[in-house]
Chain A
């Protein structure tokens, strides 16, 4: 009962957010000063004659009334048409389709593993004051680091100085993606450093969050009660840990945007062919269709992940369901 109301509300909220994001995406270029088409045309081929600009405006339907443009935008979106990239000379949707798997390949394991390891380290710090004294500054230092800077240090130390691992691209440049053993090996060795740079920095903020939550939960009334009734240290920790991990799940949703941002910059350091590099190239070359497409994909992915986390959360925290049952 409570669960259905919760779901309905979430679907509505995420629906509105989606519409808002798409509208923003459509509106921004139209609000900005200057003419994007002019910039794009002059980028791709010398002087922009007014005829050429007109031609492109017709191609992109920019000469139509605003409401029609808006409608077209939605229609195209549902057909999977995100426009055409002048920089890569290919449809935006296909460029993104090729880039997205690389993002998932480094982001997903980095987020999941850092969440697990960070929570574990943070829980230890929260319980053990001696250990806490040494690790807390370290965690804060980690959490303060810009992802891309740590990535640069890794490239310099592990890649350049020690020469242990490759640090540019997603696989050796002379290979073609296939399911061969050589390719997989090459892919994995190129994957390690980008993954590590995200993974290690992310650990910091998870550990900090968990440490603070554990300290807070261990002082909660229900732990005092368990202790008064002769519960072992282990049982009290078990109960506190379970409750401390719940806000960390919510934290996962809240931090996702930050982590995606970190990944974008990190990919640039490693020249890793994900959305991050696309975004940089698109931004620097005024390839606005590509940029807008990338924005949409990132927003949709983050929204979807958030939605998933919200559903999972309703399952693991009875308080959510209870709050939707009343009334």
Chain B
């Protein structure tokens, strides 16, 4: 069952020089009970995409497409409706999770302020839940009575995760939550997210990262974005083991692998830089950096082609004119 169905979503940024097409016709779905990974280089639109689901603020503009969350189009909700479903049904752990909590408010006060605005009336109940969850993530329940400044960075990260998921949202967005962390803490975070899923605290997770190796560990299905477009989408294992799109292949080969020494297999970066999203080419957006670019690549846009069970990629090399 689909928790979230995004269809042909277009999110642009209004700038003095024109529209920056940060997300340009993206479609995917997130199913109940799965972790859906979104990967890509910085500036590929992954952050814009998830943020547009939570909160669209100028200069972000919705230019078309739908995002059906439990049957309601997130793009058409009124301000107040959208405010109400945030946190209770749709929540986010932000990139800046370590600094997300107001330093001068006790954590229980922050939580109560938020819960009250979402219709909760029993303060004790909310605090009891908070303490329980804090224990669950291996923090002392006394943390509830402390100020965020009194906690270490790692503790703040976990506290933020507890706060974000306290009201059992159906869909949780984890936006680059592991980017600023060391490897050990990364593992803790991933385990916690798994734990949240197992306990039924959250039903689905969208996990955004630029780190493909990490997705391998957490995501059931994944999507790769390049310059605001979907490049490849499919079950994580298939995408990682049998990448179909040249971009995915290059991304994967740029990852260091366990057991293979640098001397034996040189890491390859991807030459060149992503194109400007102010005025993207008509055809494939990757052709400027693609080692296999064809004559038609600059002018003709490749469509998503089925390459396996639920596995699609958008590249002219895979044929697909007939579709």
Residues of A that sit less than 8 Å from B by CB: 221-222, 224-232, 235, 238-239, 242-243, 246, 317-319, 322, 325
Q: A235-B117, A318-B150, A322-B150 are in contact. Are A229 and B102 (CB under 8 A)?
A: no
Known contacts A322-B149, A325-B150; A229/B101 CB under 8 A = no
Q: Is B91 an interface residue (CB 8 A)?
A: yes
Q: In chain B, what residue has the closest Cβ to A319?
A: B149
CB within 8 Å for A318 and B147 given contacts A222-B101, A222-B103, A243-B102: yes
For A221, A224, A230, the residue with the greatest tally of chain B CB atoms inside 10 Å of its CB is A230
Whether A232 lies near B94 (C-beta < 8 A) is no
| B86: chain A residues within 8 A (beta carbon) | 228-230
A221-B100, A225-B94, A319-B103 known; A230+B83 contact, CB < 8 A: yes
Interface residue count on the B side (C-beta < 8 Å): 30
The 0/1 profile, CB within 8 Å of A marked 1, for residues 105-141 of chain B is: 1000000011001100000000000000000000000
Judging by beta carbons under 8 Å apart, are B104 and A242 in contact? Answer: yes
Q: Are B104 and A317 in contact (CB under 8 A)?
A: yes
Asked if A228 and B54 make an inter-chain contact with CB atoms under 8 angstroms apart, the answer reads yes
In the complex, what residue of chain B is closest to A316 when comparing beta carbons?
Answer: B104
Contact of B99 with A by CB under 8 A: yes
Q: Please, which residue of chain A has its CB at the minimum distance from the CB of B102? A: A222
Report chain B residues within 8 Å CB of A325.
150
The 6 A-B residue pairs whose C-beta atoms are closest, nearest first, are A230-B86, A318-B147, A225-B100, A222-B102, A229-B87, A322-B149
**Residues on the B chain within 8 Å of A228, using CB:** 54-55, 86, 92, 94
Contact between chains at B149 and A229 (CB < 8 Å): no
Residue of A nearest to B95 (CB): A221
Provide the residues of chain B in CB contact with A235, threshold 8 Å: 113-114, 117
The interface centre, meaning the residue of B91, B101, B150, B164 with most chain A CB atoms within 10 A of its CB, is B150
Instruction: Give the contacting residue for A230; candidates B99, B104, B118, B150; CB below 8 A.
Output: B118
For residue B108, give the distance in angstroms from its CB to the closest CB of chain A: 13
CA distance in complex: A192, B186 (Å): 64
B86 shortest CB reach to chain A, Å? 3
- Min Cβ gap B114→A in Å is 6
Q: How many angstroms from the CA of A230 to the CA of B147 in the assembled complex?
A: 22
- Residue with the greatest number of chain A CB neighbours at <10 A, chosen from B118, B147, B149: B149
Residues of A within 8 A of B187 (CB): none
Contacting B149 at CB < 8 Å: which of A231, A246, A318?
Answer: A318
The reply on B28 being an interface residue by CB < 8 A is no
Q: Which B147-173 residues have a C-beta within 8 angstroms of A?
A: 147, 149-150, 160, 163-164
Indicate whether B195 reaches chain A with its CB closer than 8 angstroms.
no
Could you list which residues of chain B lie within 8 angstroms of chain A, going by C-beta atoms?
54-55, 82-88, 91-92, 94, 96, 99-105, 113-114, 117-118, 147, 149-150, 160, 163-164
Q: Are A222 and B99 in contact (CB under 8 A)?
A: yes
- Is the beta-carbon distance between A222 and B150 smaller than 8 angstroms? no
Q: Evaluate contact between B87 and A322: CB separation under 8 angstroms.
A: no
Bound Cα distance from A230 to B113, whole angstroms: 11
Q: Which residues of B lie under 8 Å from residue A225 when comparing CB positions? A: 94, 96, 100-101, 160
Q: Are B104 and A229 in contact (CB under 8 A)?
A: no
B121 to chain A, nearest CB (A): 16
Q: Find the A residue at minimum CB distance from B167.
A: A229
A230–B94 alpha-carbon span in the complex (Å): 14
Task: Using known A-B contacts A221-B100, A319-B149, A322-B150, determine if residue A229 contacts B92 with beta carbons closer than 8 Å.
Answer: yes
CA distance A222 to B94 in the complex (A): 10
Q: Give Cα A322 to B106, complex, Å.
A: 13
Contact of B105 among A227, A232, A239, A322 (CB under 8 A): A239
Contacts of A246 in B (CB 8 A): 104
Q: List 29 A-B contacts (CB under 8 A).
A: A221-B94, A221-B96, A221-B99, A222-B102, A222-B103, A224-B94, A224-B96, A224-B100, A226-B113, A228-B55, A230-B83, A230-B85, A230-B88, A230-B114, A231-B113, A232-B83, A235-B113, A239-B113, A242-B104, A243-B102, A243-B103, A243-B104, A246-B104, A318-B103, A318-B104, A318-B150, A319-B147, A319-B149, A322-B149
Chain B neighbourhood of A224, CB < 8 A: 94, 96, 100
**C-alpha spacing A316/B323, complex, angstroms:** 66
Measured in the bound complex, the distance between the Cα atoms of B117 and A238 in whole Å is: 13
Contact A229 B147 (CB under 8 A): no
Q: Please indicate which of the listed interface residues A221, A228, A317, A322 has the most CB atoms of chain B within 10 Å of its own CB.
A: A228
Q: How far is the CA of A231 from the CA of B99 in the complex (A)?
A: 17
Residues of A within 8 A of B113 (CB): 226, 231, 235, 238-239
- Nearest-neighbour CB distance to chain A for B175, whole angstroms, equals 9
- Bound-state CA distance A232–B117 (Å) is 7
**A230 adjacent to B117 (CB under 8 Å):** yes
Nearest A residue to B106, CB-CB: A318
Chain A residues within an 8 Å CB radius of B101:
222, 225
| Chain A residues within 8 Å of B150, by CB | 318, 322, 325
Query: How far does the alpha carbon of A224 sit from the alpha carbon of B94 in the complex, in Å?
Result: 9
Given A222-B99, A239-B105, A243-B102, is A231 in contact with B117 using a C-beta cutoff of 8 Å?
yes
Smallest CB gap from B116: residue in A: A235
CB distance from A65 to the nearest CB of B (A): 53
User: How far, in angstroms, from A244 to B82 measured CA to CA in the complex?
Assistant: 28
B79: shortest Cβ distance to chain A, in Å?
10
- In the complex, which residues of chain A have a beta carbon less than 8 angstroms from the beta carbon of B149? 318-319, 322
CA of A322 to CA of B114, assembled, Å: 25
CA distance A235 to B83 in the complex (A): 12
Instruction: Provide the bound-state CA to CA distance between A226 and B96, in Å.
Output: 13
Q: How far is the CA of A221 from the CA of B148 in the complex (A)?
A: 13
Known: A225-B101, A322-B150, A325-B150. 17 other contacts (CB 8 A): A221-B99, A221-B100, A222-B102, A222-B103, A226-B113, A229-B87, A229-B91, A229-B92, A229-B114, A229-B163, A230-B87, A230-B114, A232-B117, A235-B113, A239-B113, A318-B104, A322-B149
